[in-house]
């Protein structure tokens, strides 16, 4: 067994092995971006517990396994995946093991609104894409984002033009079908000035063996744009899921995000949000895990300019001998006066072996700000259990209800009712223990 800090040197090279087979893009800057990413992968190492940003999250299990890029794509029928559809979200892009599946997708190009595979946007949108793709999500010091960028090919591209409000939610469905495969889902959302859109980023699996999802999402909101971003990570039980999401908010734009993590053996979600003047964000999360799962959420909300508002509520429900990690950094830069920031981390441990590490981090370099944060870790409150028992419910039913309610508080913030019901049902099933 190798000591911590020393990862098999060939590991990243193995992961990169499939990269030369990618067809060159007609866009020179995109080829240059990939080449730069390949070079960064060569210079970086896989993080270990010795890295401050990874000190609670042991991914050595991931590095002991061998994954290869998808070789043959599985042909799926709509009937195979219909159960993942979200009733309201009829605009849909489907990626199977990271590969765009046009026959399963129902994207749109309509009045300047585009929900398409990246390649299809090279003609009309290349100039709009270039300043954001690979720029919002920093990969120079992030080996997983660099790997994803090195493999950048198929990707969900959403462009919403100025003052257009897209009524139908967009469903980006990433389906894993093959074991030992690593896929590199990628999303780019450009919300132009005054536009509005709701996007569901959804990771699912059709099989239970090990695979690796390494995703990158970039979202740019121009002045006054409004984006609802719902992220659902319901990967297979043996999956590895590492994702980076970068969101840039221009003046007076509004970003509302709810991310839930139910699946994967090991998952890590990095979310970086940067706020300009008068921008507002609500960043909420729920990790519901059991068995030997590990779910790590790292967020950084960067108040770069004055008068911005950020609200964050992150919850973890941890059963079995699972391990949840939350690291929530709020940065208030010099000059970011009148910042209004509220953060709370609440954690529920269902067993004696469940474990949570939570680390709210407030770094304030301005003096006229309103910032609150807090973290709680605990078991169900015995007074609450007693209250429900005193109304006739058994102790088990009372505990189930309180556990469910703890998670449902986050799910309720999802603005799409069929998805909300579906996820509430999942929470109900996961939190129900038989008497």
Q: Which is nearer to another protein, 143 or 401 (CB)?
A: 401
Q: Is 78 in the site for another protein (CB under 8 A)?
A: no
124 binding another protein? (CB under 8 A): no
Question: Residue 367 or 383: which CB sits closer to another protein?
Answer: 383
C-alpha distances out from residue 247 to 48, 70, 101, 315, Å? 26, 28, 26, 21
Q: How buried is 381 (Cβ within 10 angstroms: 0-12 exposed, 13-18 middle, 19+ buried)?
A: exposed
Query: H or E element: which one contains 183?
Result: strand 181-183
**Closer residue to another protein in complex, CB, 95/406:** 406
Q: Where are the beta strands (DSSP E) in 25-120?
A: 68-69, 91-96, 99-100, 108-110, 113-117
The single residue among 367, 368, 383, 429 that binds another protein, judged by CB under 8 A, is: 383
Pairing mode, strands 91-96 and 99-100: antiparallel
User: Which residues are CB-neighbours of 21 under 8 A, at least 6 positions away?
Assistant: 69
Interaction between residue 407 and another protein (CB under 8 A): yes
Count of residues engaged in binding another protein, rule: CB under 8 A: 25
Q: Which of 344, 243, 364 is nearest to 302 (CA)?
A: 364
Query: Is residue 394 involved in binding another protein (CB under 8 A)?
Result: yes
Binding segment for another protein (CB under 8 A), chosen from 74-82, 138-146, 351-359, 394-402, is: 394-402
With H, G, I as helix, E, B as strand and everything else as coil, classify residue 5: coil
| Count of C-beta atoms within a 10 Å radius of residue 396 | 13
From the list 142-150, 175-183, 193-201, 406-414, the region that binds another protein by CB under 8 A is 406-414
Task: Provide the token pair at 10.
Answer: 């060939």
Least distance in angstroms from the C-beta of 342 to another protein? 16
415 belongs to the binding site for another protein (CB under 8 A) = no
Segment lying near another protein (by CB under 8 A), choices 11-19, 27-35, 78-86, 401-409: 401-409
Residue 401 interacting with another protein (CB under 8 A): yes
Q: Does 421 bind another protein (CB under 8 A)?
A: no
Of 153, 357, 412, 420, the residue at the interface with another protein (CB under 8 A) is: 412
Q: Between 47 and 285, whose beta carbon lies closer to another protein?
A: 285
406 binds another protein (CB under 8 A): yes
Rounded Cα gap, residues 175 and 340, in angstroms: 38
Query: Counting contacts by CB under 8 A, is residue 282 touching another protein?
Result: no
Radius of gyration of the chain (CA): 21
Q: Which residues contact another protein by CB under 8 A?
A: 381-384, 386-395, 397-398, 401-402, 404-409, 412
């Amino acid at each position: 067994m190798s000591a911590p800090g020393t990862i098999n040197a060939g590991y990243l090279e193995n992961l990169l092995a499939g990269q030369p087979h990618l067809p060159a893009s007609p866009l020179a800057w995109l080829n240059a971006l990939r080449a730069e990413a390949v070079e960064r992968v060569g210079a970086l190492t896989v993080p270990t517990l010795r890295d401050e940003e990874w000190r609670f999250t042991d991914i050595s299990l991931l590095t002991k396994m061998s994954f290869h890029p998808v070789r043959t794509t599985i042909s799926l029928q709509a009937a195979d995946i219909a159960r993942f559809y979200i009733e309201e979200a009829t605009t849909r892009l489907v990626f199977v093991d990271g590969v765009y599946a046009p026959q399963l997708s129902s994207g749109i190009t309509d009045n300047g609104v585009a929900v398409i595979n990246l390649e299809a946007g090279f003609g009309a949108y290349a100039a709009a894409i270039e300043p954001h793709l690979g720029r919002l999500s920093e990969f120079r010091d992030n080996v997983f984002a660099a790997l994803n960028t090195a493999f950048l090919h198929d990707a969900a591209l959403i462009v919403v033009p100025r003052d257009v409000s897209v009524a139908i939610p967009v469903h980006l469905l990433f389906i894993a079908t093959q074991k030992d495969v690593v896929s590199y889902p990628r999303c780019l959302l450009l919300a132009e000035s005054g536009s509005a859109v709701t996007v569901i980023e959804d990771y699912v699996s059709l099989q239970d063996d090990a695979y690796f999802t390494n995703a990158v999402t970039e979202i740019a909101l121009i002045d006054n744009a409004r984006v609802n971003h719902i992220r659902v990570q319901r990967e297979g039980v043996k999956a590895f899921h590492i994702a980076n999401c970068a969101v840039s908010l221009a003046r007076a734009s509004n970003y509302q995000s709810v991310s839930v993590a139910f699946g994967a053996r090991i998952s890590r979600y990095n979310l970086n949000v940067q706020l300009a003047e008068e921008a507002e964000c609500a960043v909420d999360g729920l990790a519901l895990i059991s068995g030997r799962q590990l779910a790590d959420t790292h967020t950084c909300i960067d108040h770069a300019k004055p008068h911005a508002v950020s609200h964050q509520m992150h919850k973890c429900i941890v059963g079995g001998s699972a391990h949840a990690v939350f690291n929530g950094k709020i940065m208030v830069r010099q000059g970011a006066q009148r910042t209004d920031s509220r953060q709370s981390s609440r954690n529920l441990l269902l067993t004696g072996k469940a474990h949570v590490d939570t680390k709210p981090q407030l770094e304030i370099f301005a003096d006229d700000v309103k910032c609150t944060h807090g973290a709680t870790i605990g078991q169900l409150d015995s007074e609450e259990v007693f209250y429900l028992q005193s109304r006739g419910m058994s102790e088990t039913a009372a505990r189930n209800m309180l556990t469910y309610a703890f998670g449902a508080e986050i799910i309720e913030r999802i603005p799409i009712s069929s998805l909300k019901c579906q996820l509430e049902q999942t929470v109900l099933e996961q939190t129900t223990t038989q008497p």
